[in-house]
Amino acid sequence: MLEHVFTKIITRVVVRLFETCFRARVCSLKSIVTAACLFALVLVSGCGPHSDRFALNGKVTLDGTPLDNGSMRFSSTGGAKTGGAKMYAVGALIKDGEYHIPQDKGLPPGTYRVEITAADTKSPPKLQRAAPGDPAMMTTPDRIPPDFNTESKHTVEVSASSDNHFDFDVVSKK
pLDDT per residue over 98-151, tens digit each?
999 999 999 999 999 999 999 988 888 888 777 888 888 888 889 999 999 989
pTM for this predicted structure: 0.65
pLDDT per residue over 20-61, tens digit each?
666 665 666 666 666 666 666 556 555 545 678 999 999 999
Task: Decide if pLDDT at 165 tops 50.
Answer: yes
H-assigned helices in 45-109: none
The answer to whether residues 148 and 168 touch, using CB atoms and an 8 Å cutoff, is: yes
